[in-house]
Amino acid sequence: MHEFLISAAAFIVLVGAIIVVHEGGHFVVAKLCRVRVDAFSVGFGPRLFGIKIGETEYKLCLLPLGGFVKMTGETESGLTGSPSDNEEPINDPGAFTSHPRWQRMLIGLAGPTFNFLLTLSLMWFYFAFINEVPAATVKTTSIEWVTPGSAAATAGLETGDEIVAFDNVKNPDWDSVYDHIRLSANQLVPIAVERGGNTLQLSLRVPASAKSDDFDFSDAGICPQYLPGPIAVADVQPGLPAEQAGLHKGDSIEAVDGQAFHSVNTLLAYMQAGKGTPLTLTVLRNGATLQITATPTKLETRWMLGFATTPTPIRSEPLSFASAGDKSLGFFKNNSLLVAEVLNRLFTHRLSVTQMMGPVGIAKAAGEAAEIDGWYPKFGLASEISLQLGILNLLPFPILDGGMILLLLIESVLRKDISLAIKERIYQAAFVVLMAFMAFTIYNDVSKLDLFKHIKP
């Protein structure tokens, strides 16, 4: 219940704010073009309260899931307006439909543009005033360990390799590698690695499990090296193998079976591959190095030793305004290209729609971001969703801003308005398709929840 409440609250705040910004773009440009705005609403459904300033009513409605802008004459097809909307005179100078097509296009473009500006602003603020970084990091995409018999091992990847190109992306970071591996489920991806001063060209067959929201690098047999230094032990659980072997709070594990591991995730992957094989731990304690042997035990479905690690130290390192702007633009560019790649793979049938995230998936991600320590998950998720909303609204699909702009462009070429009856049929068909797609994404999200994973055959 706690997780549900956090996710619901985070979803309402996150998506609501982003949609209000989107509608705010339409509102501002409509006002600049002297289009009469009848209402600016935060939320949908029954009106709770509001105030009228000039010609516009600013109101708060019951359902806090975004908002909308109602412009005079905007709903000329009658799809979302009341009968009184259709009775408004077509020659009303303040009506949306009475303004030149180029102004109506600008109003349509304003919503996505404000989403893009929100993305840039959020990330600029984060990098300029927060910019959390690990106290110590590894700058390269070095592989800490490769699971024997895995997809990575079959591809020829080895411990210590540095990835210098992945899926034709040169010098990627681990976030970029993860994004592209998620888009390439059950596909062969080209990889270039540096090994012993030589560059090797390899191909990785990405496992089908990359489609899953729970996918991790270790599922492909890759354990990235994110941090330098040993694994620091923060606590040892009583009665489990770590305590029985003599591991103490404050110890540092420098190596496992002679291999230098820097992350507990790598150690976990190593134990799963070993299936309970005894481990020789090289431990640093009070300046002295000692060897201890520990035999993992299986708890539920995973092999464990029974100790907790010290959280990675984080420090704030704000960037200059110029550098923050560059980083913000880089974030915008990389994520825009990723959205374009997703759309391209969807339309070319190289990516399943079941991998897309709907409202429930966004709510779950928002809840997780709210509970994770640090500010980057919160700023990053809000920025990504705002960017995606802006791009998707520009798609030339009726009901979306891009669809409205497309019809206006067609009318400009024809030099006459498209019949209202034709527009109405187009919008009705698009509405049905959009609702069906929304229902599918919600079903797809719900089917991925842990509750339903346990009851699937």
- CB-based contact 279:246 (threshold 8 Å): no
pLDDT in tens, 156-187: 999 999 999 999 889 999 988 998 998 888 89
Q: What is the predicted pLDDT for the residue at 78?
A: 35
Contact between 231 and 139 (Cβ < 8 Å): no
pLDDT of residue 444: 75
Task: Please name the helix (run of DSSP H) or strand (run of DSSP E) that holds residue 362, with its range, or none.
Answer: helix 359-371
pLDDT band at 192 (very low <50, low <70, confident <90, very high): very high
> Is residue 257 predicted with pLDDT exceeding 80?
yes
pLDDT at 425 over 70: yes
Domain ranges of the chain: 2-113+385-420, 128-135+319-381, 143-224, 231-312
Strands of 367-435 (E only): list them. none
d(C-alpha 90, C-alpha 420), whole Å: 13
Positive or negative torsion for Cα 227, 232, 238, 243: positive
Stretch 144-156: mean pLDDT = 94
- pLDDT of 456 over the 70 cut: no
Closest alpha carbon to 360 in 2, 42, 1, 15: 15
pLDDT digits (tens, 9 = 90+) for 35-89: 999 999 988 888 899 999 989 999 998 877 678 899 987 754 433 333 334 444 4
Higher pLDDT, 176 or 346: 176
Residue 310 has a pLDDT of: 82
pLDDT computed for residue 348 by the predictor: 83
Domain 231-312: homologous superfamily in CATH: PDZ domain (2.30.42.10)
Q: What is the mean pLDDT of residues 404-431?
A: 88
pLDDT, residue 120, reads 96
User: What integer pLDDT is reported at residue 168 of this predicted model?
Assistant: 83
What pLDDT is stored for residue 76 in this prediction?
Answer: 40
pLDDT score, position 420? 80
- pLDDT tops 80 at residue 409: yes
Domain 143-224 has CATH 2.30.42.10: yes
pLDDT given for residue 90 in this prediction: 54
- The tokens describing 257, both together, are 């079976």
Measured CA to CA in angstroms, residue 215 lies from 72, 151, 210, 424 at distances of 48, 14, 5, 43
Residue 457 has pLDDT above 50, yes or no: no
Radius of gyration of the chain (CA): 27
| Integer Cα distance of 247 and 233 in angstroms | 8
Q: Residue 143, exposed/middle/buried by CB under 10 A (0-12, 13-18, 19+)?
A: buried
pLDDT at site 450:
58
Task: Flag whether pLDDT at 454 surpasses 50.
Answer: no
Using pLDDT thresholds of 50, 70 and 90, give the confidence band for residue 111: very high
- Across residues 230-235, what is the average pLDDT? 90
Q: Return the pLDDT at 3.
A: 67
Provide the mean pLDDT of the chain.
86
CB atoms within 10 A of CB 135: 11
Equal CATH topology for 143-224 and 231-312? yes
Q: What is the pLDDT of residues 195-225, one digit of tens each?
A: 999 999 999 999 988 887 778 898 999 999 9
Note the pLDDT of residue 2: 60
Tell me the C-alpha distance between 269 and 159, whole Å: 13
pLDDT of residue 338: 85
pLDDT of residue 312: 75
Q: What is the pLDDT of residues 240-255, one digit of tens each?
A: 999 999 999 999 999 9
Cβ–Cβ < 8 Å for 265, 272: no
- pLDDT category at 455 given cuts 50, 70, 90 is very low
Of 92 and 318, the structure prediction assigns the larger pLDDT to 318
Asked if pLDDT for residue 427 goes beyond 60, the answer is yes
Enter the DSSP assignment of 150.
S
- Spatial neighbors of 434 by CB under 8 A, at least 6 apart, are 397, 399
